[in-house]
Amino acid sequence: MLGYLKGFKDTLMMEAPELMLTKKHEIWKKGSVSLWYYPAEEKKFEIPLLLIYSLVNEPYIIDLSPEVSYIRALQKAGFEIYLLKFNRPIFADKDLNTEDIVSALLG
């Protein structure tokens, strides 16, 4: 039992790894919503991908590290990627809805 507790304590004391290291540019922001652009390593497709991530989860799961990254794999395959990221809502977002976000992106 003591070994388990020591391992648990060691885990809690570990530094958090850096996530989402793939090169990107924030090209639009409104309130807590951001649009990120990931350039293709070597562009092979005319039409880019638009990824719209969850409203409640963080998108780091698709870009954990350079070795384990869905984003990186898409870049290597030749896709340009746009990722719509919803951050934690702030007061300025109180009246913002999905239609507003889409209109701002397309308008």
pLDDT per position as a tens digit, 36-47? 999 999 999 999
Let me know if 33 is exposed, middle or buried by CB neighbors in 10 A (0-12, 13-18, 19+): buried
Distance CA 87, CA 91 (A): 12
State how beta strands 25-30 and 33-38 pair.
Answer: antiparallel
> Given this model, what pLDDT does residue 36 score?
93
Q: Is 0.95 topped by the overall pTM?
A: no
**At 17, phi and psi to the nearest 5?**
-70, 155
Q: What is the number of other CB atoms lying within 10 angstroms of the CB of residue 82?
A: 17
